[in-house]
Amino acid sequence: MRTEHDFLGEMNVSDNVYYGVQTMRAMENFHITGEHLDPDFIQAMAIVKKAAALANMETGRLDKKIGNALVQAASEIIDGQWLDQFPVDPIQGGAGTSVNMNMNEVLCNRALEIMGKEKGRYDLISPNNHANMAQSTNDVFPTSIKVCLSMKGKKLTAALKELETELDVKADEFKDVIKMGRTHLQDAVPITLGQEMGAYASAVARGRKRISRSLEGVHVINMGGTAVGTGLNAEPAYIKAVAAKLSMLTGDIYVTARNLIDMTNNTDIFAEVSGNMKATALMLIKMANDFRLMASGPRCGLNELKLPARQPGSSIMPGKVNPVMAEVLDQTCYQIIGNDMAISLGVENGQFELNVMEPVMAFNLFHSMQYLTNAVHAFVKYLLKGVKANKEACQSWVDHSVGIVTALLPHIGYERSSMLAKEAYATGRPIREIILEHGYLTKEQIDIILSPQEMTQPGIAGKEVLEETYLAQQKISG
């Protein structure tokens, strides 16, 4: 054991750990989630600390021997070492001070070890004087959140791009599968299954771009603003250098906010990122539910899609298979929506020069990004890549639908079309059969007018079909 002290007193700390007294106090105070800090967040904060040490050495304020040891310690954390040395609960009071000091203590004790000194010799390398030089929790913590969001955001947008691409593949695969479109859950007019898949791809692309645009805002940082954004204890040269060092270390461009006070006390960028994830989640719920409905049955539902069988669906009903991958995407998206509420409440609860609720924002932002990335990957891998169209069922719904009567309006008029629809509903007979019986159109004319191309892509069917349709129209009107 070693004895460490802060201004509240002394505590004994195991000599096997790199954290110190302030981390120990946080461990006593905060037993909230039962979780540990997100590893990406720990590494993001180590990147910020490494940038700060490099910037402080560049300005000449930080001794290079100490600075290089701190840089090496930070590099080890970035490479995945010592991640078990961050035991503080993610949700905590203090605006993230416990996390910042946890990092400072680990960096200092590892740096002391690198220099051949004993852990706890803060008279040589201090968590507050050296690891936290020209910094405050109030600029380090939000900047670390932003670096982590940038890291996780790349994975999320890549997952959404994969979903978009696979939906486009299915759009091409199913381009000739005609089916009934539905509005109000009622028969509407025909559409191809490929067109539906293409629409989902378009919506996913919009969600991906929406999230990407909001992530641009996380590259504006308040490093150097220190406690309230005024830059107390931070040299102007350091403020300029730390953004440059952070850009160099991450490969992304980070810029210092024009108004550091604003960037220190406002966290609306986190609401924007979360809100755009929520909007995307809402769209994904709609898509997943469409898949569930199209795969319903298989004997007593729509049965238009055949989903890959992932697991037995019931503990009591033999042979039952459920759309579990669509269901888990739904539930993940519900969680993102719930997380957004917590983030929103945190954002609006800042007072004066600081928002102390950043820990709960970070906790929920990181979970939302990780959960959504995982769920989208699973949906693509275990459902979308293996989904098949039931062409026969799709065509059967079209053949027995009254909705196709809409395609007849330009040819036989609204009144006749309404009469046909009424008779079809009353008798249950197919529209084609009733049209022929009344002699409104010939079989050849019906085949042209009700062709999949003409019903789903008017004018795309080709010159020959268009000419035949025109001749049919002339004959009917004559």
Q: For residue 89, what are the contacts with CB-CB under 8 A and spacing of at least 6?
A: 26, 27, 30, 31, 32, 33, 34, 35
Q: What is the distance between the terminal CA atoms of the chain, rounded to a whole angstrom?
A: 103
Phi-psi map region of 9: left, alpha, beta (phi>0 left; psi -120 to 50 alpha)? left
Query: What gap in Å lies between CA 292 and CA 303, rounded to an integer?
Result: 10
Closest by CA to 169, choosing from 438, 386, 365, 354, is 386
Before 430, cis peptide (omega within 30)? no
Q: How far apart are CA 356 and CA 39, in angstroms?
A: 22
Are residues 87 and 115 in contact, defined by beta-carbon separation less than 8 angstroms?
no
Catalytic residue among 314, 368, 401, 417: 314
Q: Determine the residue type at 111.
A: A
The residue to which tokens 């035949």 are assigned: 468
Q: What is the DSSP letter of 47?
A: H
CA 438, CA 440: separation in Å to the nearest integer? Answer: 6
> How crowded is residue 471: how many other Cβ atoms within 10 Å of its Cβ?
12
Whether 314 is catalytic: yes
Using CA atoms, how far residue 209 sits from 203, 214, 275, 335, in Å, is: 10, 9, 13, 21
Tell me how far apart the alpha carbons of residues 112 and 60 are, in angstroms, rounded to a whole number: 20
Are 23 and 105 contacting, i.e. CB atoms less than 8 angstroms apart?
Answer: yes
DSSP 8-state secondary structure symbol assigned to residue 367:
H
Beta bridge partner(s), residue 288: none
Q: Coil, strand or helix: which one is 251?
A: coil
For every residue of 418-443, DSSP letters joined together read: HHHHHHHHHH---HHHHHHHHTSS-H
* Residues taking part in catalysis: 314
